[in-house]
Amino acid sequence: MSAEPQFLSFKGLKQYTPEEGWGQVHNLAPQAAPKAKVSAPAPVVPDNVPTLTDTLEEAQNEANNGLNDPSMESLFEQLRATPNDSLTHTWRTVAAEVNLLTQRMALQRELKERLRQLDQDLVNLRSTILLHLREVEQAAEQQLHSARHRAETSALAQSKLAAKLNADR
């Protein structure tokens, strides 16, 4: 094993190194007497541990440098191959349906918002129509009042004129 400090160390854990292959991971830190709880130091990560952002090809190239391990080559071949089993097809179908569901839910939210806006517009339009109808009613009342007043004035003038004409005869 390398002399680098290990960041994972528990019984049964194995580590693969290109130089030595698979081997046991041993706790390199000396066993000390238990101390009061103190925050643990940050783990030391070796430089050659691939990260999640490494691509499959980079990891394969690193593994193949100076190493012809058939099990590793088989693993990389399996990772590169596209599985064609029914489970993969089912998961692809599920993923497509989830995408469709997400799109439909977004459309539903948009339509609900448009419906809410339409309902608000309808309420505003009803209020405006009622306001205009009240204005029409007031104008009609005013016209009716004016027409009655004209009719009364006309009737009064007619009776006075008739009385004057009858008196002059």
Contact 50, 62 (CB under 8 A): yes
Phi, psi of 90 (to 5 degrees): -65, -45
Q: Tens of pLDDT along 25-66?
A: 664 444 444 444 445 455 454 555 545 444 455 655 655 554
Q: Tens of pLDDT along 115-137?
A: 999 999 999 999 999 999 999 99
Q: Which two tokens stand for residue 139?
A: 């104008």
